[in-house]
Copies of this chain bind each other. A is one copy, B any other.
Amino acid sequence: METKLPHIVVLGAGFGGLTFCQDFKGKAHITLIDRKNHHLFQPLLYQVATAALSAPDIAQPIRSILTDNDNVTVLMDEATGINLTEKSVSLKNGTLHYDFLILGLGGVTSYFGHPEWEQFAPGLKSLDDALTIRRRVLYAFEKAETEMNPQRRDELLTIVVVGGGPTGVELAGAFSELAKHVLVKDFQRIDPARARVILIEASTRVLSHLSPGLGDTARAQLETMGVEVKTSAKVKNIAHGFVELDSGEVIRAENVIWAAGVGASPLGRQLGVETDRAGRVKVAPDLSIPGHPSAFVIGDMANCVDKNGVNVPGVSPAAMQMARHVAEIIEDELLFPQHRQRKPFGYWDKGTMATIGRSAAVAKVQDFEFSGFLAWLAWLFIHLIFLVGFRNKVAVFLQWVYSYFTYKRGSRIITGQAGDAYLAEEETKNTPMVPPGHAH
């Protein structure tokens, strides 16, 4: 059974790694390694955090996606180190040698040198992150309902989102809808419509990767929905129950969500090659690691200037395009080993968009900018098309239709309380409480 096929190791089953495995046509065996058993559709992760979708709706087992790709072995494991000279990858459960390596481990939440903020302000990169945020936010409303101290109650009903990029904008809009449209009917003592959602952005406007015009539109849409938008506001400190800004302003809030910083997977820094401030590997024009032509970096882990001088952004279409580029290079080289002539990568910007809420979104395709209902519909359909798995497409579509017409959220449940710091603290609290009119 000993085959002498070349061995390609792919680290990470995100958009990049998965696309590579699906598109690679050459004669080689691929081993795909991921810490999780599922591919996650990150663009919809904020909808799990805001109780609109359930976790399995936006995740698909990697094995199941690649069930017909007989040349791919899937392992649930984690890379702990890479030796580019010996061409080997150390995993928690062993070591793999490779002929070609594809690094596509994506990003991690970065707290700009303040890792201590993480416990108070969770980021949003994994399903577990999303479920933590959902649990904490829903639980804060429950706590507010039994809270007698009005100041503490306001605190429980305040959500701060740090970072005015697409994730922050989408989260803030969705939290505002959750409070003002979904929860508002179901509480008796508190008024969820009075919940505050505050979006904090360090630069002068939200969605700074889009034009000032679209940024202004997004801001206006957010404010119409009741989100308080604070631009040119830098975070100085975060601890339990508050955010302090550079201006000295202190915002008391039970829930602070961190959507401000994305850094590359820490493995990039361990390679001993040049990385940028975010830890991304500075790749050669062909996406290989300079000096190591058998090792490629794709997706959010790569700092790439393409053949037209464009800084390739950390978005899923870029990761998928990079994966296809590398697949073609390796296919060619396996067929014509002597004729090594690699093309530089060129990024094709399909456009960017962000959704803000019901019937509200902004989009940019080439030089064409649009917003409102049309942009929102476009956003919905593009995300459905790219969502992996037929079952998930149908499930997400039906839930969106359901939520649109009923103003309800299908995943408004609190699970997994054990081990949550916020709840451990809660156990020790004991405020006297009686419902109005029933103190005997």
Interface residues, chain A, with chain B CB atoms under 8 Å away:
1-5, 7, 29, 31, 36-38, 54-57, 59-61, 63-64, 67, 73-77, 91-97, 127-128, 131, 138-139, 142-143, 145-146, 183, 185-189, 391-392, 394-395, 398-399, 402, 406, 408, 410-419, 427, 429-440
Q: Are B433 and A91 in contact (CB under 8 A)?
A: yes
Q: Are A432 and B95 in contact (CB under 8 A)?
A: yes
Q: Are A3 and B73 in contact (CB under 8 A)?
A: no
Q: Are A128 and B418 in contact (CB under 8 A)?
A: yes
Q: Closest residue of chain B to A91, judged by CB?
A: B433
List the B side residues contacting A434 at CB < 8 Å: 94-97
The number of times this chain is found in the oligomer is 2
Q: Are A186 and B438 in contact (CB under 8 A)?
A: no
List the B side residues contacting A73 at CB < 8 Å: 188-189, 435
Q: Closest residue of chain B to A58, judged by CB?
A: B413
Q: How far is the CA of A73 from the CA of B402 in the complex (A)?
A: 26
List the B side residues contacting A427 at CB < 8 Å: 92
Q: Which A-B residue pairs are the 6 nearest by beta carbons?
A: A94-B433, A63-B186, A97-B440, A56-B411, A76-B142, A54-B56
Q: Are A430 and B67 in contact (CB under 8 A)?
A: no
Task: Please tell me which one of the listed residues B54, B189, B398 contacts residue A54 in the complex, with CB atoms under 8 A apart.
Answer: B54
Q: Are A414 and B67 in contact (CB under 8 A)?
A: no
Q: How far is the CA of A37 from the CA of B91 in the complex (A)?
A: 40
Q: Are B431 and A93 in contact (CB under 8 A)?
A: yes
Q: Are A3 and B437 in contact (CB under 8 A)?
A: yes
Q: How far is the CA of A416 from the CA of B129 in the complex (A)?
A: 9
Would you give 18 A-B contacts (Cβ < 8 Å), ordered by A?
A2-B437, A36-B414, A37-B414, A73-B188, A73-B189, A74-B188, A75-B145, A76-B143, A92-B427, A95-B432, A95-B433, A95-B434, A96-B438, A128-B416, A392-B410, A395-B395, A395-B399, A418-B419
